[in-house]
Every structure is written in C-alpha cells, then in structure tokens.
Structure 1
C-alpha cells in the first residue's frame, strides 16, 4: 500500500473514531479542543493513569456494540 493510500485510510479511521465517540455533531473547534486537552493530559504529570483511563473507556466503547469497525489498533 502506498503512503498516500495509507494516509487516506488513517484519516478515514480517525473520522470513524470521532463518530463512534458521539462527537460528530459538535463543531470542529470543539472536537479539536477536546483532543488537544486530551493530548496535553497524556503528557502531564499523571500521564500513565490518564492513558489507562482513556484506554479503558475506549475499550469499553469498542465492546459496546461487539465490533470495532476496523478502527481499533
């Protein structure tokens, strides 16, 4: 798979995650703000605990409907 196709696939997967999270109806600035705050928290003093909390929430969201839609990595 070439780099351009891989990039397109990754962007589609990330868009699917926004939809799966329930944030698709929010303005782009709200989604970007939430992701920016999350990225900052993952670099903060409690990064390991924050990552574990986010991962547990993500795993629960993926298992809610029994499928990952190809977006889980």
Structure 2
C-alpha cells in the first residue's frame, strides 16, 4: 500500500470514528451528508462555528477512565 493510500485510509478511519462517537452510525447517509454540507458553509469566524467547535473540543476531551474514548450520548430532539 502506498503512503498516499495509507494516509487516505487513516483519514477515513478517523472520520468514521467521529460518526461513531457522535452516535450517528444508524443515521441516513443523505442526512449526514446534508448536515456536513451545511457545516461546510459556516464562516470559520462565526459564532456558530465557534459554538460547534467548542462542543466538539469538549467531546474529544471526554474519555473513559481506561483511556479509551467514550461514545458521546445521542442528541435529544
């Protein structure tokens, strides 16, 4: 496997892990893509971007006592 393919595979693995941590493994793919496209439209300097980034930072900091990542509780509607 070339270095580029390894890097691409690792990137996909890490992104998939984010979907798992967010509790979205059973979500419709079109829903996920739509949400990501909306996120991509946010201005990086906007208050909404900062708010969502802060939520994500806190979620990444949350870990189980054994050092493994905890699954993030599913959002309630």
TM range (shorter): 0.7 to 0.9
Runs of 4+ in structure 1 over 4 Å off: 66-69
* RMSD of equivalent CA atoms: 2.0
Return the TM-score normalized by structure 2.
Answer: 0.71
> Larger C-alpha radius of gyration, 1 or 2?
2
Counterpart selection for 1:53 from 47, 51, 56 = 51
Q: Which runs of 5+ in 2 are unaligned?
A: 70-77
Q: How does 1:19-34 map to 2 (within 5 A)?
A: 19-34=20-35
Aligned pairs, number: 65
Q: Which has the higher helix share?
A: 1
Q: Supply the distance in 2 between the matched residues of 1:5 and 1:23 (Cα, whole angstroms).
A: 25
Distance 1:55 1:61, change over 3 A: same
